[in-house]
Every structure is written in C-alpha cells, then in structure tokens.
Amino acid sequence: MSARYPLIRESEYSWRIDPTGNMRVPAITYADETLIREMDDKVFEQLCNVASLPGIVQAAYAMPDAHWGYGFPIGGVAAFDPDEGGIVSAGGVGFDISCGVRALRTGVSIDEIEPVKKQLADALFRHVPVGVGSTGRIHLNDKGMQAMLRGGAQWAVEQGFGDPADLEHIEERGCMRGAVPEEVSERARNRQQDEMGTLGSGNHYLEVQRVAEIYDQRIATAFGLKENDAVVFIHCGSRGLGHQIGTEFLKYMVMAAGKHGIVLPDRELACAPINSELGQSYLGAMRAGINCALANRQIITHLTREVFADVVPNADLTLLFDVSHNTCKVEDHLVEGRQRKLYVHRKGATRAFGPGNREIPETLRAVGQPVLIGGSMGTESHILAGSVEGAGLSFNSACHGAGRAMSRHQATKRWRGRALVDELADRGIIIRSPSMRGVAEEAPGAYKDVRAVVDAAEKAGLAHKVARLEPRVCIKG
C-alpha cells in the first residue's frame, strides 16, 4: 500500500482517499491489491491534485491501468460542472488528443491469414506510414486542413477513404461537433499537413489478431465476433497537431491561472474555467484535434483495406467500433438524483456507455458500447462492453490498455529490440517496425499484465469482458 496516502479499501476492487487539504472530493482508484501495490505514489498524488480543482463533481477516478502522467495520471477521469466554476484542463486530456483504438472485423478466420501472414505484414508495413516523423501520401493545403478539422471521419469518407456505413460505428458518428479550426495555430496545422494516414511512433500500432476466447457469447454475437476470427486493431491519434495544441494551451493556461483565481497544486494541471474565453478557445481547438484523430484512423482503415484486398481477397473489413481515450466530452450524468451536463475528462481512459445509451449505434445499443483494450506489443488485447453500473462508478469510463510499468528509458536498458522481434517470431507473432529502439521501448515486460487490468475493470463493475484476442502481426513505430 501507499506509505504517503491513506487508502481506504471500499471493496476488493475499489480504494478511496478521503478529502484532505485542498481536495474538494475523494480520490477513487479501481484496482485489485496487486495493481494497487504496483502503482507509484505519484499516481495518488496526481489524483489528489485533480480532486482539488474547481468545479469537480463526485470524485477523481483512476482506472486499473493507471500510471503517472503529465498533470493528470494516465487512466484518470474527472468531470466538471461549468455552473460551479468547473474547469477544462489540457493536461487532463493529454497531448495526443483523441488517441484511440479502432477494431475491424475481417470476415475471415485466422486460418486464412496464417499462410500469407509474412506477405501481409510486409504489405501493411509498406502501405501504412509508421514511425517518428512519418508522412503519408496526402498533403493538405489550408482549405483542406480546415475541412478536415471540421469534418473528421465524415470528411475522410467524403474524400473516398472508406464507406458511409463506417460512420455509425465511430464515436460522435465520425465528427466532433463544436470544433473551431480557427483556434488551431498555424504551427499545429503545418505539423499535420503531411501526416494524415500515418501511425506515428511510441505505443501506436496496427495489429492483426485472433479471437482466442469468448467470455460472453451473447454480446460477442451482437458484436459479430466468434472464436478464431481475424480482427484488426488500429491504435493512433492526432499526431503532431494534437501535441502542438496541448503544448500551446498548457502554456496559455499556466499564464492565465492567476487571473481566474485558480491556485494550481501543480503547474502541469494548468486549466481554465470552462466558461472563460480561454476555456472555450481550448475546447474549440481540442474538438478539432479529435476530428483530426478520427480522420486519421479512417484513412488508415482505407489503407488497410487496400492491403487486405490484395493479400487476403476473401476478407471484408467492417468496422466494429472506434473509441478514443484522450478527450473531454460534454455528457449528461445523474449525480445525487439530478441530471447534470458535465465536462468529462478521460486521459488514457475509455468511454464505456452501458446498454440503452443513445450514443451507441442502434445495432449495438442493447448490449452496450464496445470498449477496446489494446495490450502491449506481443501481448493479448481485449474487447469489453460498457455496463449500466459504470455510470455511477466512473461516469461510464473504463481502462484503455495495460498501462506502463516502467519508463521507456528503463525498458531500453533492459531489452534489445532485435532480440524481442526474434523472440516474438518464435511465438508466431510477426513484428514490423522502422526502429529497434522503439521495439525495446514497447517491450511486453514494460507494461502491466493486461489480463489483470481487464479482470479488475470487470470485477469493479466498469465494463463486461467479451473476448480475448492474441496478436499475429504487429506494425508499430
């Protein structure tokens, strides 16, 4: 347990820190005892700092994959009421705005992939740009950039990247309302003009996976999944544009905090009142960043379909769902018996609406929103479904991945990329990457046990387990 923070055990999978000092609400972490013991004290420090921010509602939450980040812990969730002086925080969204995961059904079994697995890996690696500073075949002039930032995946489909049917299975139906491209700086737009349709680096990847186990047959059937199916996961975000938006607005928010009477427990928690001019400017830019990420994943989907059409012509890639995990969304939530319109920050946390929510596509509404949990490179991923009880537990939020257990620098001191590629190949997993250092940074051992994280999320009531997937091909930066 934490030596510095008095964790009160509410249940086997729920831990509370009561308000002390400047905290306005409790800090709650969902995890089992092992995951709690493995969390750095910095997670609890950051969570308590979030709990001290103006206008926060109910509690500051950390998901089972939580680890310390910039300002907010990664895996952090907090909701703010604008009518009570609530704030919006660039650090509470993160630098890679709308980083998220997209799952595609292929319509074929993994048995049809195995004979051409190496050919498929090579073709995907050639066709989908990946790595630090990677650029694609699309160049956007200023008019095209404005249209993309306003239209998101809807814009991408209009440009011929994908099908209109895709849009029903994307958060916000592919286009985040309220985007204001004019709030995105010229520097941010310039960074993105050649980066559309690229994966980038870090923990971003494109994977071909096998459905190895079904946990809930009813929901899996509704999701169109069965054992041995081949599934594609795409994990990436808003690239240089999102990072630039976050960098610039953090600076503006730090400088403006005093003017708004905000005392920051940590400079990294720089924020602005939602109803302020700066708060609204950030929200307009952030929503444009969300659209950039949605368009980016849509273009990568189109590129992936092109490769499959050549290598696995029997495949028919259809979109199961696309969900982001670095956002601030305006949502209606029931708090203390009344509906309130709240600004829900999810940093490294996934929206997980339960059955019946009208934001879920009609074809999936009866069983809940798909929650896509990517593992680390070479380890299993999971598909979950949002739960009804999650509304009261975490504003319908769940984990987003395994969560780092050590820094990238520590990982490169312990592992060598070439050895990892060879080791995973012996297990039948093909890795393609332009950087062996990048492979070492994302070593499976540098992350928590994703199965333990997913089990904790289910047992805490945040979401229901549906299926477990094993990687076969991984394209990463």
CB 296 within 8 A of CB 128: no
Tell me the pairing of strands 56-67 and 27-30.
parallel
DSSP state of 73: P
What Cα–Cα distance (Å) separates residue 70 from each residue in 56, 59, 134, 154?
19, 19, 25, 31
Structure-block tokens of residue 415: 């592992």
Indicate the SS3 state at residue 3: coil
Q: What is the distance between the alpha carbons of residues 469 and 370, in angstroms, rounded to a whole number?
A: 14
Q: What is the distance between the alpha carbons of residues 340 and 346, in angstroms, rounded to a whole number?
A: 17
Cα-flanking dihedrals φ and ψ of residue 39, to 5°?
Answer: -75, 135
DSSP string, 160-210: TSS-GGGGGGBGGGG--TT--GGGS-HHHHHHHTTTTT---STT-EEEEEE
Indicate the SS3 state at residue 300: helix
DSSP alpha helix (H) spans, 175-325 = 186-192, 217-223, 239-256, 277-311
Q: Give 122's contacts (C-beta < 8 A, 6+ positions apart).
A: 432
DSSP state of 237: -
Q: Which of the residues are catalytic?
A: 400
Q: End-to-end alpha-carbon separation of the chain, Å? A: 36
Amino acid occupying residue 138: I
Count Cα neighbours of 246 within 13 Å in the Cβ-side half-sphere: 26
Give which of 291, 289, 305, 293 is closest to 163, Cα–Cα: 305
